[in-house]
Amino acid sequence: MKMITVMLVDDHGLVREGLKIFLETESDLQVIGEAADGAEAAVLAGRLKPDVILMDLLMPGVDGVEGTRRCLEESPQSSVIVLTSKVEDDLVLPAIRAGALSYLLKDVAAAALSEAIRSAAAGNPTLHPLAAAKMLQEVGGVNKSTGTADQISPREMEVLELIARGLGNKEIGEQLYISERTVKTHVTHLLEKLNLRDRTQLAIFALQNKLFDS
């Protein structure tokens, strides 16, 4: 089994410690460095050459966008996962343009974070649906829904909110105490009612109609 090396960048020591404790329970993940801002991260990245860097965005001094750029200059083979508290409207696209591969929120499920790290190490991105939605809005080419929110039932609205927050069908079922099959049915009905093609389009609909806080 190939060990995936990880570097943590966050100005909150407790956040770094919590991430480190969790990641070290995974047999194929190893935390090899920690930094409190983007400048310190770049120095460490150049020395340690981690496979994956977990990067907070909002930090004093050098923030996560500039930190991402500097880290990748020092260690081009690293993959950066933005791991932040919310989808920052004005930082999603700059972070991706700086070279971040993935964009996740700190409330991501533990198993999903592990998989995102493994995917990043393999060069595959993972984007929170609202981050993907904001990116698509900025670059254009987003299909407009022909439906309206008043077509959606209360239960479908609950499912839509959890989709927009990045949960998969299994996690939605667990939160709402319904089967995964029932969740799939609700997702199908949402797509049909709103004339949309996928989950990211559903997240875009929620964003455009300001249905939930991002």
Domain boundaries, the chain: 4-127, 149-208
> N- to C-terminal Cα distance for the chain?
38
Percentage with pLDDT > 70 across the chain: 93
Fold of 149-208: Arc Repressor Mutant, subunit A (1.10.10)
| Helix or strand holding residue 207 (H, E) | helix 199-208
Which segments of the chain have a pLDDT < 70? 1, 88-89, 136-145, 213-214
Strands 79-84 and 4-9: unpaired
Q: What are phi and psi of 2, to 5 degrees?
A: -80, 130
Predicted confidence (pLDDT) per residue in 174-206, tens digit: 999 999 999 999 999 999 999 887 777 787 788
| Superfamily, domain 4-127 | Response regulator (3.40.50.2300)
DSSP states along 5-45: EEEEE-S-HHHHHHHHHHHTTSTTEEEEEEESSHHHHHHHH
Q: What is the pLDDT of residues 134-150, one digit of tens each?
A: 776 665 555 566 788 88
